[in-house]
């Protein structure tokens, strides 16, 4: 079994920043299958389409999700109560490819930061660069500190950490790392890819609109560069993680 849809019990639902919620769900069989950078497709009560949310962390019997309320589905999720049952299809997609004896730098922007925690936790001596619009949206700093990461915080308006962008911080530390894994808005990923080009390898995680999450509906099709030239690939199945040079950032 690579993935399955099963019932989970919501055991924690806590607001951790403005409009951002931290969920822990419990189930005995799916969490041990989760790999770094994969995602889940969550059934929202009363909605047909599931909502794709990255796996922020995993233990033997829990998955953690950190999500921002964007529309109706995530609003309903934010109002669910501990003890509620949730149907979740997981783990999905191809996540970050992490090798031993490499120093990784994880670069996250906004709600692109949560998918990096489980990955950083599973590498040695990780560097983590997190960026947010302002201090009210800063999340997961204590979690990254608790795993011993060399952690940097940047905000667009300077209200917390360094005044500037994650890419400014990354440029200064490029010679200390072997590879970059990034998740965040496309304009940020485009600059991360440019900073890394010709210097260090870079993987980017894309958050394309999705339907089924398993390669059956084509909602997530996206133009990418492949060995055989340009091709439409399904982000849910081929991705969500791509080599940064495979992605068209302006498409
Ligand atoms: C692989 C992946 C991982 C993600 N991980 C996270 C995460 O860890 N935390 C987080 O806050 N958000 C994450 N997102 C974005 C999240 O899926 C959307 O914000 C969410 O689906 C919005 O649903 P909604 O009902 O609140 O919004 P609405 O706009 O009402 O959604 C309507 C429909 O569009 C889809 N949709 C809308 N925006 C997106 C989007 N950006 N990506 C995919 N589908 C979308 C919804 O699933 C739904 O079917 C991820 C998206 C993908 C593809
Ligand atoms: S979401 Fe249906 S094919 Fe990718």
**Pocket residues: Cβ below 6 A from ligand 1:** 39, 49, 51-54, 67-68, 70-74, 111, 114-115, 207-210, 240
Sketch the domain layout of the chain as residue ranges.
4-92, 96-205, 208-251
Ligand nearest to the CA of 237: 2
Average pLDDT over residues 71-90: 97
Give long-range contacts, CB 8 A cutoff, 24+ apart: 154-161.
Answer: 154/129, 154/130, 155/131, 156/131, 156/132, 157/133, 159/134, 159/135, 160/132, 160/134, 160/135
Q: How confident is the model at residue 152 (pLDDT cuts 50, 70, 90)?
A: very high
Residue appearing with tokens 């889940």: 40
Residue 202: helix, strand or coil by DSSP? Answer: strand
- Name the burial class of residue 201, with classes exposed (0-12), middle (13-18) and buried (19+) by CB atoms within 10 angstroms of its CB: middle
Ligand 2 atom with least separation from CA of 237: 4
Q: Which ligand is nearest to the Cα of residue 235, counting in written order?
A: 2
Is 208-251 a CATH 2.10.240.10 domain?
yes
Which atom of ligand 1 lies at the shortest distance from residue 67's CA? 11
Q: What are phi and psi of 121, to 5 degrees?
A: -60, -25
Distance 217 CA to ligand 2 centre (A): 5
- Residue 1, pLDDT > 70, answer no
Nearest-atom index, ligand 2, CA of 220? 4
Confidence of residue 227 (pLDDT cuts 50, 70, 90): confident
Q: What is the mean pLDDT of residues 134-162?
A: 97
Residue 193 Cα, ligand 1 centroid: separation in angstroms?
Answer: 23
pLDDT at residue 178 greater than cutoff 90: yes
* Helix/strand/coil percentages in the chain, nearest 5: 20, 35, 40
Residue 64 confidence (pLDDT): 98
Mean pLDDT of all residues in 191-205: 97
pLDDT tens-digit readout, 2-35: 899 999 999 999 999 999 999 999 999 999 999 9
Q: How far apart are CA 18 and CA 140, in angstroms?
A: 13
Q: Are 222 and 186 in contact (CB under 8 A)?
A: no
For the Cβ of 236 lying below 6 angstroms from any atom of ligand 2, the answer is yes
**CATH class of the domain defined by 96-205:** alpha beta
Is the CATH number 2.40.30.10 carried by domain 4-92? yes
pLDDT of residue 228: 84
């Amino acid at each position: 079994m690579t993935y399955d849809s099963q019932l989970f019990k919501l055991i924690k639902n806590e607001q951790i920043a403005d409009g951002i919620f931290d969920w822990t769900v419990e189930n005995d069989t799916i969490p041990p299958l989760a790999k770094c950078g994969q995602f889940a497709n969550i059934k929202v009560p009363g909605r047909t389409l599931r909502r794709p949310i990255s796996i922020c962390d995993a233990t033997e019997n829990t998955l953690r999700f950190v999500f921002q309320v964007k529309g109706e589905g995530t609003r309903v999720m934010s109002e669910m109560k501990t003890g509620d049952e949730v149907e979740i299809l997981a783990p999905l997609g191809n996540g970050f490819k992490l090798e031993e004896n490499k120093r990784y730098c994880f670069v996250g922007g906004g709600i692109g930061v949560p998918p990096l925690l489980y990955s950083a936790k599973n590498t040695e001596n990780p560097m983590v660069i997190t960026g947010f619009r302002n201090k009210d949206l800063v999340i997961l700093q204590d979690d990254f500190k608790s795993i011993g990461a060399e952690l940097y915080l940047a905000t667009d308006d300077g209200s917390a950490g360094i005044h500037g962008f994650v890419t400014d911080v990354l440029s200064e530390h490029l010679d200390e790392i072997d590879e970059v894994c990034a998740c965040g808005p496309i304009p940020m990923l485009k600059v991360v890819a440019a900073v890394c080009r010709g210097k260090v390898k870079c993987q980017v995680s894309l958050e394309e609109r999705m339907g089924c999450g398993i390669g059956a509906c084509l909602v997530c099709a996206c133009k990418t560069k492949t060995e055989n030239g340009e091709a439409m690939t399904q982000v849910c199945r081929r991705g969500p993680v791509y080599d940064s040079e495979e992605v068209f950032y302006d498409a």
